[in-house]
Each structure stands twice: as C-alpha cells, then as structure tokens.
Chain A
C-alpha cells in the first residue's frame, strides 16, 4: 500500500475539503489506482469535477508527481510509491 499526499486547487479542493489530503492506494499502486480511490472516497461530487459526461472520459490535465509532470490522458499506469507527492494541475486554461 502506498500512502501519498494529494494536492488540489479551487473546485476540486472544495470537494476534498483541504489543500492536501493523504490517500492510501492499494493495488494497483498507480496514478490510475489513486483516481479509483478518490472516486470511491469522494463520489459523484469529485467525479463531476473531473470527468466529462459528454465524452465519458477523464478531462485532460497535467499531474505533478513529485518533480515530474505527467498527463491524465496517457500516464494513468505510472507507478506511485509510499510518500509520493501528487498535485492535480486542474482546472486550468487560458485566461
């Protein structure tokens, strides 16, 4: 099991209730596994902030995994480990 610290902003932070939450991710210990846990823990309010009902897919955004930037669209199988810091760079767009 990997215990990771998840940092979020604005509307997603509002759902999670804090700037940073600690999440325990059991198998698979991957970024995708983390999202499964977040969905389980925070349910529909979290899902509607991050899944697009019109495409049925997760929105495109960058994720900061420690000091590496990865993508929600291609890196869900990326492994995570105990103590990792993960930030969801979302919502974001042009001003």
Chain B
C-alpha cells in the first residue's frame, strides 16, 4: 500500500545482528511528518530506542542509516544519506553524512532506512537485494581494506552496480574515529565506523531496482530543471565543477583564514604549491558526480609513480587543510597519498590530520622527541613522517595508538598543557574553517551537537560578507537559523555544497519547494522552520539526557586565548567571556535555559517533544 506522503517508500528495514532477525516495519506517518527523514528521523528513532548512558560500542547502541524523501528523485544536490548513532568519539548523538549513490539505492531496494542493532558473534555483512535481505558471513573480508572488500563483494555477487558501505581495519578494531566508506564517499566523522565494527558488521551491500513515487512528476521535473539552472549560474557554486572544494585554498590564504601549523597561525607560506590550480595541473584526471547532481565536485586524482603513488577521489579541501597547511606540508602528491591512506585504513581524515598536527606542535615544543614517536622526526613539514604516522594510527601501532585516541584524550594522557592546543570541541577536531574572526560561526561550533563540525554551522554568511563579521549583536540568532537550514537539509539529505540555494542564512524557498513538490506537503517558511527547530531540539535532548550541559559548549583554548598573529585577520579571537555572551544570546533566542543550556519544558511542549520533558527538565 502506498505511503501517505510522496517521496517516501513507507518502510524501514530492521536487522538484528545478535539473532540475525530481519523485519520490515511500516514507517510511522507522524514521525515522517514531524521529523522528515535522514538525521531528524534518525534522532527520533535513536532517542526512542537507545537507552541513556549505554556503551556506544556495545550491542545496545544502534546504527541507523537513513534516506530522505527527496533522495532518489531528480532534484539535484540531494543524493546524500546519513549514518547516525551514539558516538564513541563524542558520547553524543552523531550524524555522519555522505554523498554518492548508496542512499538512493536503498530507496530503490524498497526502504527509507535501515536500523542495525545487536552484535554479531562473528564478522558478517548485510546483503539487501530488493526485498530479499540476508546476513552473510564476512570472515573472508575481515582485515581487508574498504576498496578490496568492495572489489571482492562485487565479484562474488556478480553485479558491478551494487553499492557498498564498508569499514576498514580501524573500524574492525573499534578505533574511536573510524569511518565508513560508502563506495568512494566517506561517512567520515564521529566514529560511525567503530560502531559498525563493534557489531562485527563489515559491510552493507545494496541493490535496488525499484523507484520513488511522487505526487506529480511534472512538478518535480520542473523544479529540478529550475534548480539545475540556478546551480549552473550561481557564482557561489561556480568553481566547484572545475576545481572542487580546493577552490578555496588560495583565496582563504589571502584572507588570512587558512589554518596553519595546528592553528598557530592562519597564513601558510607553502600555499602556492597546494592550490586547486596546482592540483588540477599535476594530479586531477577527471570529475565524479553524485546521483542526479550537476555540480561534479569530486575530483579523481592519480599520482602515477614515486613514493606518493596513489589513486584517490579527492583531494578535498579538508585534506589540503589538514595534511597540508595544518601539518605544513606543501607537496600536493604527498597530500594525495595521505588521503589514500585514510581511506585504506578507514579513518576520519580530519581527526587523523589534526591529531598529527597536534603531535607536531608537541614535537616542536620539545614535549615529544624521536624516542616518543617511534623514531620519526615529527616536525611540521615532514611529509614522510606524516605518512608514516597515518599508517601507525591506522594500525593503532606504537605512537599511533596514542594519536588514534584523538587530541582530547591524547592531551589528557600527555598533560603538560597540551590540551590548550588540542583543536577540538566535545572531542571532535575542527575542520578548516576558522571561527576566530566570525562570531556566529564561533557560537555555532561551540553549541553544535557534534563539536568541531562545520555542518552544524556554516562560516559562509560571515566569510562572504553577507553579514558584517565585526558585529556581535544578533549572531546567536543567526547561528540558530543556520542550524535550522542545515538540519532540515540533513533530514532531506541535501548537499551543503549547494548552500547558496539551500541556505545560506536561513531555510530557503528552494528548500521548501523541493520538499513540497516531492512529498505533496504545503509547508510555508514558518512550518518548515518549526520542523527544523523540533529536529534541533530533539538532538539537544539526546545530549542533555547523556549529561551534556552548556559547560560542554566550548571552543579550543587556542581560539579563546590566542589572537591570529598575522595577516588581514590579525588580532581576531573569541575570548571566553565573549563566547559566554554569545551562548547566552543563542540560548535566549532558542528559548533554552541559560544555566543548563537545555531546552525548557515550555519549548519542548511547543515543539511536540513532550516525551522528553521528564528526561531532561529538572
């Protein structure tokens, strides 16, 4: 029977790995309406089904892969999918989102999402072949890297068009920031790969031959045509097709906002050798697009020979920032190799890079010597040392075992004030988008449920001058409205790289139109905003139930105490007292309790989250 709303399949797949039980459940119409899909719907499910304070690497945790109503339609920049769980890295609800084809394929197989629970006794993989679902032995895949695993599964199944999510060695070892590789794209952050590994689940393999039903195909077609036209002519999107996300590198360095040497400064003297232009000239061989997307932002790059021989889908900006400017390595081929090694071991690229740059600063300060670092001269700029250390992190071997814990835990172990330059919040290391000159971005990072994520907040409105970065008033409200457009997109699984049309200041008309034409809903801005606010509060409730308070909403000490030392942003930072004022501004705008930072009873009732009142309101 068709689901009430367009775009949805109306069915969830539940796989219990403890008893290999497979059930197909009808999607709750009220949850679809109130939480949409993707991250919003996953948050509701996980809040309901995962008990507070459980071990994220135990069988009680659940790994939810969820699509959204727009996935699998012809709407562009809408191909993403989400893995959600309680994170072993941050202890909070975590959503790790990836692009490509896997999300649409799950819908074509007949499911809006997959809930994975329990723990297999031995390695397994899940094979979803339309309505036929099996839990199969993966003993022969254990120990294989993600791409080798994909190759074997494609051969065994005899179908080149299957789509696969898999973990590497790090996930198998439950390394805290292990990622899930989804074909060529990564659900990189927050240790979702460790959750998968803790369940002895090596891979999820999907083949779907169905489709997605919408109320009026012509309306969806017309919207898709119009949005593609907007994407192809919007200046803020231009450049992604030709250069991908690294298009930022030169401009950011010129603006003095390219984080360098573990964020000791934000101007990199070696920038000219790691720009998008250099990358295109030296290594890029082609472009790759996600399902139904006209942007083609992924670059396919090859280093054909030599010590950095590698084949990657990248390097994206975060690799160039993390392994490039942050580790002071100015060799684009070495950055490609670093990217490839992260995929090989299945580790989050940003956390890996920032753990190494933190260690490099320790080395620079004399806190570590070669005796500590397995004989590696771990100086800034040492490309080979950096690559050796990635291998050690991937294997959790020697000094790499310390860095595999991430900067928060490693700095606690090492002491000696090294926490001050651990560039993380809630344990999650920061991406390459500085908040020091941008107050809305700063409070967004601090209050974000994941911590150091540029997908809970976007720097773009302040970084482009849409709003005045020097004005602090109203920045709490701006951060909240950016949260809202992001979380609604993450529930529809829209790509943030198209933020010019989905945002960038608040939920856009285009976002609402895409949702309405696919579902048949008639949402206006106020109704769409209320859904987004409900989703954001739902996630905050999960954190609050785990014991998080406003004290957990922090920035790295460096951002609060060390002004940018040079360049056009010289002098910028967010002093602690300023951050606290921004948090008050943000909490007040949200109607949250200023003391705890938690949603109030009145706010929860207003949003229809009454069930959470007794969990978090004293």
Question: Once the chains bind, are B316 and A95 in contact (CB under 8 Å)?
Answer: yes
Most buried by B among A11, A53, A64, A95: A95
Q: Which residues of B contact A11 (CB under 8 A)?
A: 238-239, 242-243, 247
Q: Nearest B residue to A73 by beta-carbon distance?
A: B465
Binds A, one of B47-55, B409-417, B454-462: B454-462
Query: How far, in whole Å, are A70 and B568 apart by their CA atoms in the complex?
Result: 11
Query: How far, in whole Å, are A18 and B496 apart by their CA atoms in the complex?
Result: 30
Q: Which residues of B contact A14 (CB under 8 A)?
A: 242
Given A10-B243, A60-B466, A48:B254 Cβ within 8 A: no
Q: Which residues of B contact A48 (CB under 8 A)?
A: 233, 235, 238
**B236 contacts partner chain A, Cβ-Cβ < 8 Å:** yes
Query: How far, in whole Å, are A35 and B465 apart by their CA atoms in the complex?
Result: 17
Given A9-B247, A54-B234, A93:B464 Cβ within 8 A: yes
Checking B234, B236, B433, B466 against A95 with a beta-carbon cut-off of 8 angstroms, the contacting residue is B433
Question: Once the chains bind, are B460 and A93 in contact (CB under 8 Å)?
Answer: yes
Q: Which residues of B contact A67 (CB under 8 A)?
A: 568
**A21 contacts partner chain B, Cβ-Cβ < 8 Å:** no
**A71 contacts partner chain B, Cβ-Cβ < 8 Å:** yes
Distance (whole angstroms) from the CB of B251 to the closest CB of chain A? 4
Q: Nearest A residue to B503 by beta-carbon distance?
A: A94
Question: Once the chains bind, are A50 and B254 in contact (CB under 8 Å)?
Answer: no
Distance (whole angstroms) from the CB of A8 to the closest CB of chain B? 9
**B520 contacts partner chain A, Cβ-Cβ < 8 Å:** no
Question: Once the chains bind, are A10 and B277 in contact (CB under 8 Å)?
Answer: yes
Query: How far, in whole Å, are A58 and B306 apart by their CA atoms in the complex?
Result: 45
Q: Which residues of B contact A10 (CB under 8 A)?
A: 239, 242-243, 247, 250-251, 276-277
- Interface range on chain B (Cβ under 8 Å from partner): 35 or more
Given A10-B276, A52-B233, A95:B245 Cβ within 8 A: yes
Query: How far, in whole Å, are A91 and B246 apart by their CA atoms in the complex?
Result: 10
Query: How far, in whole Å, are A71 and B466 apart by their CA atoms in the complex?
Result: 8
Residues of chain A from 1 to 16 with CB closer than 8 A to chain B in the complex: 7, 9-11, 13-14
Question: Once the chains bind, are B254 and A9 in contact (CB under 8 Å)?
Answer: yes
Distance (whole angstroms) from the CB of B371 to the closest CB of chain A? 36
Q: Which residues of B contact A38 (CB under 8 A)?
A: none
Q: Which residues of B contact A62 (CB under 8 A)?
A: 255, 463-465
Query: How far, in whole Å, are A89 and B429 apart by their CA atoms in the complex?
Result: 26
**A30 contacts partner chain B, Cβ-Cβ < 8 Å:** no
Residues of chain B from 258 to 296 with CB closer than 8 A to chain A in the complex: 275-277
Q: Which residues of B contact A88 (CB under 8 A)?
A: 251
Query: How far, in whole Å, are A9 and B239 apart by their CA atoms in the complex?
Result: 10
Question: Once the chains bind, are B251 and A89 in contact (CB under 8 Å)?
Answer: yes
Q: Which residues of A contact B275 (CB under 8 A)?
A: 9
Q: Which residues of A contact B277 (CB under 8 A)?
A: 10, 13
Q: Nearest B residue to A50 by beta-carbon distance?
A: B235
Distance (whole angstroms) from the CB of B296 to the closest CB of chain A? 14
Q: Nearest A residue to B455 by beta-carbon distance?
A: A94
Q: Tell me if A's interface is mostly helix, strand, loop or mixed.
A: mixed
Distance (whole angstroms) from the CB of A26 to the closest CB of chain B? 26
Query: How far, in whole Å, are A27 and B388 apart by their CA atoms in the complex?
Result: 58
Q: Nearest B residue to A63 by beta-carbon distance?
A: B465
Residues 54-95 of chain A, each 1 if its beta carbon lies under 8 Å from chain B, else 0:
100001111010011111111000000000000111111111
Q: Which residues of A contact B276 (CB under 8 A)?
A: 10
Q: Which residues of A contact B234 (CB under 8 A)?
A: 52, 54
Q: Which residues of A contact B318 (CB under 8 A)?
A: 95
Q: Which residues of A contact B255 (CB under 8 A)?
A: 62, 64, 69, 87, 89, 92
Checking B235, B245, B455 against A59 with a beta-carbon cut-off of 8 angstroms, the contacting residue is B235
Q: Which residues of B contact A53 (CB under 8 A)?
A: 233
Given A52-B235, A59-B236, A92:B251 Cβ within 8 A: yes
Q: Which residues of A contact B251 (CB under 8 A)?
A: 9-10, 87-92
Question: Once the chains bind, are A91 and B236 in contact (CB under 8 Å)?
Answer: yes
Distance (whole angstroms) from the CB of B453 to the closest CB of chain A? 11
Q: Which residues of B contact A69 (CB under 8 A)?
A: 255, 568-569
Distance (whole angstroms) from the CB of A64 to the closest CB of chain B? 6
Q: Which residues of A contact B374 (CB under 8 A)?
A: none
Distance (whole angstroms) from the CB of A84 to the closest CB of chain B? 14
**A40 contacts partner chain B, Cβ-Cβ < 8 Å:** no
Q: Nearest A residue to B229 by beta-carbon distance?
A: A54
**B615 contacts partner chain A, Cβ-Cβ < 8 Å:** no
Question: Once the chains bind, are B431 and A95 in contact (CB under 8 Å)?
Answer: yes
Q: Which residues of B contact A89 (CB under 8 A)?
A: 251-252, 254-255
Distance (whole angstroms) from the CB of A54 to the closest CB of chain B? 6
Most buried by B among A10, A11, A48: A10
Q: Pick 8 A–B contacts, CB within 8 A, sort by A.
A: A10-B277, A14-B242, A52-B236, A90-B251, A91-B247, A92-B460, A93-B248, A93-B460
Extra contacts, 6 of them, besides A9-B275, A11-B238, A93-B464 (Cβ < 8 A), are A10-B247, A10-B250, A13-B277, A54-B234, A95-B245, A95-B432
